[in-house]
Amino acid sequence: MTNDLYARHRSVLPDWLALYYENPLEITHGEGRHVWDAEGNKYLDFFGGILTTMTAHALPEVTKAVSDQAGRILHSSTLYLNRPMVELAERVAQVSGIPDARVFFTTSGTEANDTALLLATTYRRSNTVLAMRNSYHGRSFSAVGITGNRGWSPTSLSPLQTLYVHGGVRTRGPYASLSDAEFIAACVEDLEDLLGHTRPPAALIAEPIQGVGGFTSPPDGLYAAFREVLNAYGILWIADEVQTGWGRTGEHFWGWQAHGQSGPPDIVTFAKGIGNGMSIGGVIARSEIMNCLDANSISTFGGTQITMAAGLANLTYLLEHDLQGNARRVGGLLIERLRALAAQDPGVREVRGRGLMIGVELIRPGTDQADPERAAAVLEAARAGGLLIGKGGGHNTSALRIAPPLSLTVAEAEEGAAILENALRSTQ
């Protein structure tokens, strides 16, 4: 029983392990874009297992690759040659857009960002790092230290000196009324101001669209403008593509490409969806940066054969079925549909997004204040209607987050929008 499990969860796991819903869900199985809970309820999944189920639940191609590999051997060490790891690295390097790319696999996004920081700080001989306000980069000591989202950064101690840059949130405060060009100019001025008062940082780490931060949408070209400033100082750009990579944003394969005028980032990190649920993370960098570490290195589980087999099958499916194009088409329809709903709801500040990464920002009507209570209520109402969505934002989580598996059909998009419409109506 779920409730019994909840009591056991509460008594043995940390209090700070966040759970959705008053009566938390226990997901037992899935298929396509649907999942089922322990009580047999079926849900349309608009949160993609928090973006880990990139393609589809129980995708036969991935299931087969995983079970074939498990039937052969479960083995892991970077001390031996590993065929699926080399093959996936070749594929990832090929689609990365980074010249002379090297790929290092990890087990999570956190560890990928840790590795990126290790590379950047070693390469630049500086432990000062620029990060964005409202950002989320993971749970390790160093990743927490570069996480600007106050709700998710529990410690102020850090092995790094971090300076936070504006650029993530523009829905409220002094930046809200600026045009795109004015916003970019103001953020660049803020960055230049920071750089004038510090030792040269190693890198700027940024999510092209902030994920946990509420699927914020910086104007196209923001990071290209930052890049010009960074280049003048020799500062590296690390794009955290943990949520935005692999075609999710529809128009582009990587989130950074909306800002790509000045070329690819120096380092890209990825995780979540590439394994379609298997834990793969990784770092891509041109070889000069990747090879700046001269110590021997071993990762026991980074690149383990079973996760690499899943990643290869998933990436092949994703590319062969043009799921990026599907994200663009179906996501575009969904955004339009949600904007029409929002026009009739004074509590919706904006519907924003790209492809199948869509944020719906809620405010108290007639004010500019976040409405986290309604966001929580909409989540509950959507669940009751058979739809799973997420939420995010700053310390007031008042943005609904929609990120279904990329194989979402038009009919499912319509069905989900209708459930969300009811959930919004019933909570007005």
Residues that bind ligand PMP (CB under 6 A): 108-110, 113, 136-138, 207, 211-212, 240, 242-243, 271, 281
Q: How far apart are the first and last CA of the chain?
A: 33
Cα(120)–Cα(203) distance, integer angstroms: 6
CB of 250 to ligand PMP, least distance (A): 18
* Angle 334-335-341 from CA coordinates, rounded to 5°: 90
Residue 345: left if φ>0, alpha if ψ -120 to 50, beta else—which one?
beta
Q: What type of residue is 149? A: N
* DSSP secondary structure, 133-178, as one string: BT----SSHHHHHT-B-GGG---S--SSEEEEES-S--SSGGGTT-
Q: Which two tokens stand for residue 340?
A: 């029409």
Name every residue whose Cβ is closer than 8 Å to that of residue 97 and which is 6 or more positions away in sequence: 253, 254, 257, 260, 264
CB of 265 to ligand PMP, least distance (A): 14
Task: Identify which of residues 32 and 277 has a Cβ nearer to ligand PMP in the complex.
Answer: 277
Task: Identify which of residues 248 and 374 has a Cβ nearer to ligand PMP in the complex.
Answer: 248
Q: Phi and psi (nearest 5°) for 380?
A: -65, -45
**Which value, to the nearest 10 degrees, does the dihedral of the CA atoms of residues 298, 93, 408, 356 take?**
90
CB of 218 to ligand PMP, least distance (A): 14
Report the SS3 class of residue 425: helix
**Sheet architecture: strand order including 348-354:** 348-354, 357-362, 399-402, 390-392
Task: Identify which of residues 129 and 381 has a Cβ nearer to ligand PMP in the complex.
Answer: 129
Number of CB atoms found within 10 A of residue 14's CB:
5
Task: Identify which of residues 203 and 271 has a Cβ nearer to ligand PMP in the complex.
Answer: 271
Q: What type of residue is 158? A: S
Task: Identify which of residues 222 and 363 has a Cβ nearer to ligand PMP in the complex.
Answer: 222
CA torsion sign for 418, 423, 426, 428 is negative
Task: Identify which of residues 342 and 356 has a Cβ nearer to ligand PMP in the complex.
Answer: 356
Task: Identify which of residues 30 and 148 has a Cβ nearer to ligand PMP in the complex.
Answer: 148
CB of 12 to ligand PMP, least distance (A): 21
User: What is the number of H-type helices and E-type strands within the chain?
Assistant: 13, 15
Cα(209)–Cα(219) distance, integer angstroms: 10
CB of 368 to ligand PMP, least distance (A): 26
**Residue whose Cβ sits closest to ligand PMP:** 109
Task: Identify which of residues 142 and 407 has a Cβ nearer to ligand PMP in the complex.
Answer: 142
CB of 231 to ligand PMP, least distance (A): 24
Cα(238)–Cα(242) distance, integer angstroms: 12
CB of 243 to ligand PMP, least distance (A): 5
Task: Identify which of residues 283 and 378 has a Cβ nearer to ligand PMP in the complex.
Answer: 283
Number of CB atoms found within 10 A of residue 135's CB:
25
CB of 189 to ligand PMP, least distance (A): 26
User: How many CA atoms, within 13 angstroms, populate the side-chain half-sphere of residue 233?
Assistant: 23
Beta bridge partners of 31: 34
Q: Which two tokens stand for residue 16?
A: 């700070």
Task: Identify which of residues 240 and 371 has a Cβ nearer to ligand PMP in the complex.
Answer: 240
Task: Identify which of residues 110 and 407 has a Cβ nearer to ligand PMP in the complex.
Answer: 110
CB of 269 to ligand PMP, least distance (A): 7
CB of 125 to ligand PMP, least distance (A): 25
CB of 416 to ligand PMP, least distance (A): 22
| Residue 356: DSSP 8-state | T
